[in-house]
A and B are shown apart, each in its own frame.
Chain A
């Protein structure tokens, strides 16, 4: 019940295309859903986050879509660029507690020039 399932495991997208990464969760008590971006040799960095009171959040080319009834959320990267090539992790936690974040297994994204 604590799991966050992420797919696909790897993704190749042409430059300028849309990259879509999906995540699903089971615990309805989760109320904070961040996405992290990790470049090789670096630690993950917070990219964008959403709370379940909204269905979509957009920051530049990055958009989170949230479907509370389906317990699913996804990351869309518009106009994907080679610099977006990284591993992306979705996560879920409780807003009231920063102590524990449950991470998905990660998606390795490669943008072909």
Chain B
């Protein structure tokens, strides 16, 4: 069974540009989560999508947004990039959202903003 996949693996942008990161969950998983892993700061929860809807978001500005497609894959968009957006962006998926389900993480997309 294929795990969570993310693309691209690396992304280099300049300040002010927009970045689009993509995630494909494990087959059968309906919930997708996005996290930011900045150096020395652990994982910060960004967004949670389930059944195509945004269910919750972390303490990030509105320029961080995303969506979930009918096939449950997801896209994270970061507008007006700032230098401090440089981080590893991790996507995770789980079977359902109501009861605690293990989140399975992808390998991440490393975003560098110059």
Chain A interface residues toward B at CB < 8 A: 6, 9, 32, 36, 41-46, 89, 93-106
Contacts and interface: CB of A to CB of B under 8 A. Distances in A.
B contact residues, range: 20 to 34
A7 to B, nearest CB: 12
Contacts of A105: 40-42
Nearest to A91: B43
Most buried by A among B33, B41, B43: B43
> Interface SS of chain A: helix, strand, loop or mixed?
strand
B90 A43 contact: yes
A44 B42 contact: no
Interface string B46-88: 0010000001101000000000000000000000000000000
A102 B96 CA distance: 18
Nearest to A45: B105
22 contacts: A6-B42, A36-B105, A41-B107, A43-B4, A43-B107, A44-B43, A44-B90, A44-B105, A45-B104, A45-B105, A89-B42, A93-B100, A94-B100, A98-B96, A98-B98, A98-B100, A99-B56, A100-B58, A101-B45, A103-B43, A105-B42, A106-B42
